[in-house]
Amino acid sequence: MTPENDAAARYFSAITAALSGLEVFMRDDRSPLYRHGIVAKIVAEYIARLDKSFGCWRNRLGFIDTFRISRADSGYPVFQNLLELENDRQQADARLANIPLAGELREEMADFILRHKEFPEALQKSMAERLYLEDVKSEATFGPFTLAQTAKVSVNPKTMRPYYLVHWATFDGSANLPLVYMVTVEDSSESMVRQLVDGNGKLNEKVDIPLPVDGLLNPELAHRFDDFTEKNSAYTLSPATIAVNLDKDFEPLHPKQLRRVVLGPFYSAGITDNNTTVAEVLAKVRKPENAWLLTWTIQEVFSKSEKPSRKGLFSSEKTTQEFFINTDDLEAARQGVSSYENHALIPHEAYQALYAAGEAQKIFSGYKVHILSNGQVISDV
């Protein structure tokens, strides 16, 4: 195995272990995040998509020699890899038609070995490409942009408006980071209020809503909402800016809460160099598959009040939200959020190494630390 292949194998083993551990954490009813209920479930679904993407990229290395990651920043693959994955997914059927079936390739490989007494590298690459294309045909990968879904519908008894929990995701091409968005938004459209709210101010049970629903539940606004989310999901935009833009661009929609989950950066010994101190300590971890650290941030902005619409002879103003920014917390103000949480997931062996080196307290200052041990996640350490 070449040094490059060895490094790639270590990277994929580490990131796969990290994402699997993170998914365990999100789905564990004992985890601190589980109090958010559906939020943890939604994030876990996107983590599964990421894991699927990494499985595809690992297979792709069987016939393509190069794979670039953002070593100095996010620790994730560069954006070009996602574009290639999406392009391969679209062309998968056409390419598979030109590659023999797996059973035929196995027979050819066995015959080649018997006749030539050497390994059939060309056939092996064809097999790797077939397995990759069969895998990538699934749409369950984490793409450059994943369109919104409505995951929950209810009614605000105070405003008598239906509200939706809508989520979508993007892989930011500049920061090379996966971002998951969730917004709780009330809808004052007359047609939706009439359909969804009964005379008692509750969700109309006669309306069958097969959740999750692709796109925003309001069909008159769904396409515009998709366009909005695709244009307003950059990492450089603060959650407050996105929420204000949404409030401004859609008169009948009233965003009450917006969350962004930033899944990274990721640190891996000998691969990433995005934190010198972390890299030096992780390099001392005995088992390479345990020499990693995954961080994520949950950002939230919520509406503290609603300014009613005003109609006059010469001008009018739509209903607008007043979003709370915690200016008492300088970091919250910098991020443009009401609140935020920094989390870190690390294998037990790696945490022990950081603790023994006297670096744990400094590195994890301001973080909620979760330790992965024997397939279980231990929090509040």
Residues 278-317 have pLDDT tens digits of 888 888 888 888 999 999 999 999 999 999 877 655 556 7
- Residues 188, 117 within the same domain: no
Q: What is the pLDDT of residue 274?
A: 78
* Cis peptide, bond prior to residue 162, ω within 30 of zero: no
- Residues 295, 205 within the same domain: yes
CA distance 85 to 57: 8
Of 138, 160, 181, the one marking the end of a domain is: 138
HEC secondary structure over 196-241: HECCCCCECCCCCCCCCEEECCCCCCHHHHHHHHHHCCCCCCCHHH
Query: Does residue 35 carry a pLDDT above 70?
Result: no
Of 105, 138, 171, the one marking the end of a domain is: 138
- Residues 110, 225 within the same domain: no
Q: What is the pLDDT of residues 152-209, one digit of tens each?
A: 999 999 999 999 999 999 999 999 999 999 999 999 999 999 999 998 889 999 999 9
- Residues 122, 238 within the same domain: no
Of 103, 138, 173, the one marking the end of a domain is: 138
Secondary structure (3-state) at 315: coil
* Rounded (10°) angle between helices 222-231 and 239-249: 150
Tokens of 45: 């679904």
Q: What is the pLDDT of residue 284?
A: 87
Q: What is the pLDDT of residue 1?
A: 41
In angstroms, the Cα distances linking 45 to 63, 97, 291 are 29, 31, 25
Q: What is the pLDDT of residues 39-73, one digit of tens each?
A: 888 999 999 999 999 999 998 988 887 889 998 88
Query: Does residue 32 carry a pLDDT above 90?
Result: no
Q: What is the pLDDT of residue 312?
A: 54
Domain extent at residue 233: 150-379
Query: Does residue 75 carry a pLDDT above 70?
Result: yes
Tally of domains within the chain: 2
Closest by CA to 11, choosing from 58, 65, 47, is 58
Question: Of all helices (H) and strands (E), which one includes residue 182?
Answer: strand 177-187
Strands 320-324 and 292-307: antiparallel
Residue 10 included in any domain: no
Residue 315 included in any domain: yes
pTM score over 0.85: yes
Average pLDDT, the chain: 90
DSSP-assigned beta bridge partners for residue 347: 372
Residue 46 included in any domain: yes
Residue 19 included in any domain: no
